[in-house]
Amino acid sequence: MIARLLYSLLFYLAMPMVWLRLLWRARQQPEYLQHLGERHGFYSPLRARPLIWLHAVSVGETRAAEPLVDALLHAYPEHGLLLTHMTPTGRASAQAVLAKFPERCTQVYLPYDLPDACGRFLDHFRPQVGLLMETELWPNLIHAAKRRQLPLLLINARLSARSQRGYARLASLIRPAVASLSAVAAQTEGDAERLRQLGAQRTSVSGNLKFDVTPAVDQLQLGARWRQAVGPRPVWLLASSRAGEEVLILEAISALGIAGLLLVLVPRHPQRFAEVAGLVAGRGLALCRRSSGSLPSGETQVWLGDSMGEMAAYYALADLALIGGTLLPFGGQNLIEAAACACPVLLGPHSFNFSQASDDAIACGAARRVANAGEAAAVAGELLRSRAQLLAMRAAATGFSQGHRGATARTLALIERVMEPRKAH
């Protein structure tokens, strides 16, 4: 209790900095200044309907949750879905899900982890069960749910060794929170064991929900149209790149020597689109932007994917992708979507956010590991010159994607076991 009180006090004291950060981010994404009351637990009235609450902090978690959302709303037709986020991009990425069930879905921001805000949130919506995606361990939120006897599950849970070490330094704060969870559905046995060491009491391994996400047909068709327009020239994609990685690749491709190569850059964060365009222009490379509405011409050297919600189309276009966040120590982005689109991938040395999936993809031949940007360019050159190697990796990617499905059904079964007593009551 003392640790949580100190944490809450520090959080309250830090709120001026939190608001300054919102203002700073709003310079490039004005949406950060919308729905401000929700961030402190103030919400509009809603229809009287029992709710299942799912928290998906941003884009990746929201997309991963799509099959589970469908399954939940079909399994519990009398319930509505409360979908919460922390970022505007996460909120925007849920529109496809909400469009399927407009009368049954409510979308808001989760409040900051302050005792009064969390209490207002739970008292306003009164969900029947709470589902937290991946690594959302908020001490005050979990404590408020426990006080209200609300079952709270951590699903699609992942915890890298690096994150575990960080949480372990705050054991007096984190351990009671983790121990209060009604159940934990981990992606891998390694994730489950690390969560047990943090105090999780009821853990199981359900797999990764992201394997159950099927690329939208319209996005695959869009990518195919792009491919037809680009023609036979080789296409290398830097997917979901992070700050500092575009520079490394732009420098590395100068020595690649592949005639007609088209480099596609898709930054992870939309507020960096203009910055990346400036990096390309500063090197004198012929640039085309997706937002311009025009497709790359024969003279285009770099196509900037400055759009949202089209990653599957970029994977369908590309011959080969380098997964962003792996060249520099960000931990890597999701390679599973690339595999679902049958796109071979390269991984840098830093893939600790998806360590098991990365190791499995490499083991089956769907991915290759590179040490740095220079080696990434060298291996990309080798593969782009060898159609046979690319076709073999493409087939391996398809097998890898299809062989790891089933997490949605296992997660739904766990939720049903937790919900059954409340449903009977």
Report in angstroms the alpha-carbon separations of 64 from 15, 153, 253.
31, 16, 33
Active site residue 61: yes
In terms of Cα–Cα distance, which of 341, 353, 352, 390 is closest to 368? 390
Q: How many residues does the chain have?
A: 425
CA-nearest of 46, 113, 100 to 70 is 100
Residue 146 Cα distances to 9, 46, 141, 152, 409, angstroms: 20, 24, 9, 8, 26
Per the residue annotation, which of 38, 61, 136, 337 is the catalytic one?
Answer: 61
- Whether 153 contacts 184, CB under 8 Å: yes
Pairing of strands 152-157, 129-133: parallel
- Phi first, then psi, for residue 83 (nearest 5°) are -110, 120
Backbone angles phi, psi at 326, to 5 degrees: -105, -20
Task: Reduce the DSSP state of residue 81 to 3 states and report it.
Answer: strand
Concatenating the DSSP letter of every residue in 297-362 gives -TT--EEE---SS-HHHHHHH-SEEEETTTTTTT-----HHHHHTT--EEE-S--GGGHHHHHHHH
Q: From CA 253, how far away is CA 373, in angstroms rounded?
A: 9
Query: Beta partners for 347?
Result: 369
Check: CB of residue 66 under 8 Å from CB of residue 213.
yes
The closest alpha carbon to 116, from 234, 185, 15, belongs to 15
Q: Which residues contact 199 (CB under 8 A, 6 or more apart)?
A: 174, 175, 176, 177, 178, 179
d(CA 139, CA 2): 12
The catalytic residue positions are 61
